Structure 1
Amino acid sequence: MSFLIVDRVNRLEGRLSISGAKNAALPIVMAALIGEGESILENIPNLRDINNLIKILNSLGAKTEYSNNRLKINTDTINRLDIPYDLARKMRASYYVLGALLARCGQAATSLPGGCEIGSRPIDLHLKGFKALGAKVNIEHGVVEVKADKLIGAKIYLDYPSVGATSNIMMAAVKAEGQTIIENAAREPEIIDLANYLNVMGAKIKGAGTDIIKIEGADKLEGREYTIIPDRIEAGTYMMAAAIIESDLYIDNVLVEHVKPLIAKLREMGVIVKEDVNSVRIISEGKLKAVDMKTLPYPGFPTDMQAQFMALLTQAEGASMVIETVFENRFGHVDELKRMGADIKIDGRSAIVKKSNLTGAKVKATDLRAGAALIIAGLVAEGETEIGDIYHIERGYENILGKLSSIGVNIRKVDC
């Protein structure tokens, strides 16, 4: 068991750079299975999830080399079409093997996936899409298996603009005969990044980033070089860390368009945000105004920033309302923030947050983003904040201790 110790700080300043996007890297790494030969992927963050995904690729027979954020994947040696249970259970992104290997081999299987316990995230929409393309789906003893003698393009309407389902169906459809149209598709930047990579390999995808994606089936995809976009959630996390106390922080390698919803809210709270071509500067006096926020699919405010934003709101004058519309169990961090003295009241999917004097306490990261929220809260809490279950944090933030330490945070990891 390991935990983090965070001490209160008076000011943050300096410069840090954002790593590659975890939520773009996971489907793109799996999509490399579709291409023949070798892909070289740059800006792949060194995270627990990425290392588990590499183990999955190796279990399928692919050859991988990973160093300095560069991942080489050769798929010519693939000799297995199912993911072992002990690997699949560790991460939700293991389900991307279904779309990738369905496109490449016409068959794939995996255990029902794991991940953060933030609410119900069934893969029904994924399977609906596979069935529409002509695949047969069988679920037995916790294992999902998909098979298709031939994939045929189809029109698929998603009941909800799911990022995972859009990605998985898009991968499966790239080699389907004819045209596939995904309606009510997710519009997130990570969807665009996946489509761009697939197109570089030889796919024919148009409309990514809109709610209608059109895919013309291609005969063959080949491995290529590609660079992953920066992580907008990591960028947002450090922006909120800077906003909560007196700060003058430069954050590099940011696609500003991807963090517009957060920039708007920070300015509404009284924080100065200066935008550059690929960076932002956060200037804060730590004097914040209460605001209301509702999570929505992109381009709305991301659910993956909700926990961190709630930590920020504990220092805003007045009462703020947070409405979570994406996941029903995404308030797991609230009880932990309350242990630190936060004044938060929950009613269903809504929370009222009032300004609080936080104090250090023993808390735990209930999920990835909850862990980041507790670090942010620890910056202003009197005394030490001890955060347990930090494996969640390590799933999604590359070198978080080094980056935070470089801008003035007193944070350390203790191994028991």
Structure 2
Amino acid sequence: MSKLIITGGQPLHGKVKVSGAKNASLAILCGALLAEDEVVLDNVPDISDVRILLEIMGTMGVKVRWLGEETLSLRSPKNIEDEAPYELVKQLRASNLLLGPMLTRYGKASISLPGGCNIGIRPMDLHFKGLINLGAEMNLERGIIQGKTGRLTGSRVYLDFPSVGATENIIMAACLADGQTVIENAAKEPEIVDLANFLNALGAKVRGAGTDLIKIEGQHLLKGGRYTIIPDRIEAGTFMVAAAATRGKVILESVIPRHLEPLTAKLREANVEVEVSEDTICVNAANIEAKSIDIKTMPYPGFPTDMQSQMMAFLSTVPGTSIIVENIFENRFRVADEIKRMGANIKVEGRMAVIEGVASLQGAKVKASDLRAGAALVIAALMAKGETEIGDVHYIDRGYANLEPKLTSLGALIRRS
């Protein structure tokens, strides 16, 4: 297993280009199954999650070609192998997003319960509810999700929680259903909007994405097309926090600033300078006196759960008491024990973490427990005195493209062994 070795104490300085969004890419790749013709996607991040999903789709008969570093061609077959292989599915939570497209286009699907990061309970009940409402027969036996249907029929679906995955699955299933589907209490994340824009580019009729009420008019078929994926707001946020934590100055290029407004607001509250233009963000924390803050994670447009681990690392050396309340995933605080190994003073009580800022962190041997925990440990290592060795780097590789060269270009002392 590879490790990251980081020597801390170097403020980050320079410019960095943000890669395409992991979560948008995974949904859009699944959505490409709906197209009768070739789909070409630009700004696809070359990360392990994308590679695993492409391998799953390849075993099902999808023809996949990389046309360049970030450009991908997909052609879906007339008939598909409906069983996704367990050995691949268990590695990737987003494999559940194949259900909607497979059922609505091919009338059948068989997928093992998906894996991914162990950050808490992420049940499939809302996915099932939506697909059943559209007319699918869904069963779960011995860890295998099985679905079948004739042509789906539009329906009204109310989500008890604004689940991103369930919203995406229902949107995709509804694209080829008869009549109109209405999703109430839908997730509002930018990745939902990007998926809807992609599907509309193929001929779908999805309206209201980005609000809690989404309407889909079913079509008989979707054509091919070309589409550019949005930049990754969580990668951008991770570099913003890394700049703040190391008291550096970093300009992020190819970003959509409004997607980062919750994080920008919290960094400014912590006394970090953040300047925003049309497609760049400059974070300047040189010579600042950072202030303690409180954070509560919420569905978008609230503060993202995917950024709270990174903020925990930053706040661990901010004077005073900061509090983080995690309202989405109950296991997000597992990273606290690893940051504490580096000298942090963090107390976890249920879904609340109380962080007493210390003067500095010390390098140590630590392990990533999930993707964002890994990012948090990278930030902690960049701040710490001495050398830090981060194990289980495969979690980090799931969501960050070219992390080491990007950080090296900003002055970080980082290598993989």
Q: Deviations over 1:113-162 (max 9, x none)?
A: 00000000011100000000010011111110111112111100000000
Say if 2:75 is the partner of 1:74: yes
CA distance in 1 between counterparts of 2:132 and 2:238 reads 38
1:120 aligns with 2:150: no
What is the deviation of 1:77?
5.5
Aligned 1:326-341 pairs, distance under 5 A: 326-341=328-343
Deviates more, 1:102-111 or 1:178-187: 102-111
State the partner residue of 1:64.
64
Q: Is 1:274 aligned with 2:268?
A: no
Structure 1: which 5+ residue stretches go unaligned?
A: none
Aligned to 1:244: 245
CA contact (8 A) 1:43 1:228 kept: yes
How far does residue 18 in structure 1 lie from its aligned partner after superposition? Answer: 0.1
Aligned letter for 1:33? L
1:231 maps to a residue whose letter is D
Is 1:408 the counterpart of 2:411? The answer is yes
Identity %: 51
Residues in 1 aligned to 2:9 and 2:279: alpha-carbon distance in whole angstroms: 28
Return the alpha-carbon distance in structure 2 between the equivalents of residues 304 and 222 of structure 1.
Answer: 34
Q: Is the 8 Å Cα contact of residues 63 and 77 (structure 1) preserved in structure 2?
A: no
Q: Deviation of residue 57 (structure 1)?
A: 1.2
Contact 1:60–1:78, Cα closer than 8 Å, also in 2? no
Post-superposition offset of 1:354: 1.1
Are the equivalent residues in 2 in contact too, given 1:303–1:324 (CA < 8 A)? yes
Q: Which residue of 1 aligns with 2:363?
A: 360
TM-score (norm 2): 0.98
1:32 CA displacement: 0.3
Maintained 8 Å contact 1:20/1:231: yes
State the shift of 1:78 in Å: 4.5
Match of residue 27 from structure 2? 27
Deviations 1:52-87 (A, max 9, x none): 111011101111101311110011354311201111
Q: Which runs of 5+ in 2 are unaligned?
A: none
* CA distance, structure 1, for counterparts of residue 158 and residue 298 of structure 2: 19
Amino acid of the structure 1 residue aligned with 2:308 = Q
Aligned to 1:377: 380
Aligned partner of 1:283 in structure 2 is 284
1:77 and 1:173 mapped to 2: Cα distance?
A: 19
2: CA distance, partners of 1:218 / 1:10: 55
Structure 1 residue 246: deviation in Å? Answer: 2.4
The alignment partner of 2:26 has SS state of: helix
Contact 1:248-1:284 within 8 A present in 2 as well: yes
Structure 1 residues 290 and 279: alpha-carbon distance in aligned structure 2, compared to 1, 3 A threshold: same
SS state of the match for residue 12, structure 2?
strand
1:146 aligns with 147
Return the alpha-carbon distance in structure 1 between the equivalents of residues 225 and 181 of structure 2: 23
Which residues in structure 2 correspond to 1:9-408 (within 5 Å)? Answer: 9-66=9-66, 67-76=68-77, 78-285=79-286, 287-356=289-358, 357-408=360-411
Contact kept, 8 Å, 2:316 with 2:355, in 1: the verdict is yes
Aligned length: 414
* Misfit runs of 4+, over 2 Å: 76-79
Farther-moved stretch of structure 1 (6-15 vs 117-126):
6-15
Secondary structure of the residue that 1:360 maps to in structure 2? coil
Write the distance in 1 (CA, Å) between the matches of 2:307 and 2:2.
Answer: 24
Q: Tell me by how many angstroms 1:307 deviates.
A: 0.2
Taking structure 1 as reference, are residues 46 and 240 closer, same or farther at Cα in structure 2, changes over 3 Å only?
same
3-state SS of paired residue (1:2): coil
How well do the aligned residues superpose, as a CA RMSD in angstroms?
Answer: 0.9
Contact 1:37/1:76 (8 A) holds in 2 = no
Assess if the C-alpha contact under 8 Å between 1:358 and 1:380 holds in 2. Answer: yes
Tell me if the contact between 1:9 and 1:410 (Cα under 8 Å) persists in the aligned partners: no
Q: CA distance change for structure 1 residues 188 and 101 in 2, over 3 Å: closer, same or farther?
A: same
> Structure 1: how far apart are the matches of 2:337 and 2:145?
35
Deviates most, 319-328 or 244-253: 244-253
Q: Is contact 1:9-1:408 (8 Å) kept?
A: no
What is the CA distance between 1:10 and its match in structure 2? 3.1
| CA distance, structure 2, for counterparts of residue 87 and residue 363 of structure 1 | 27
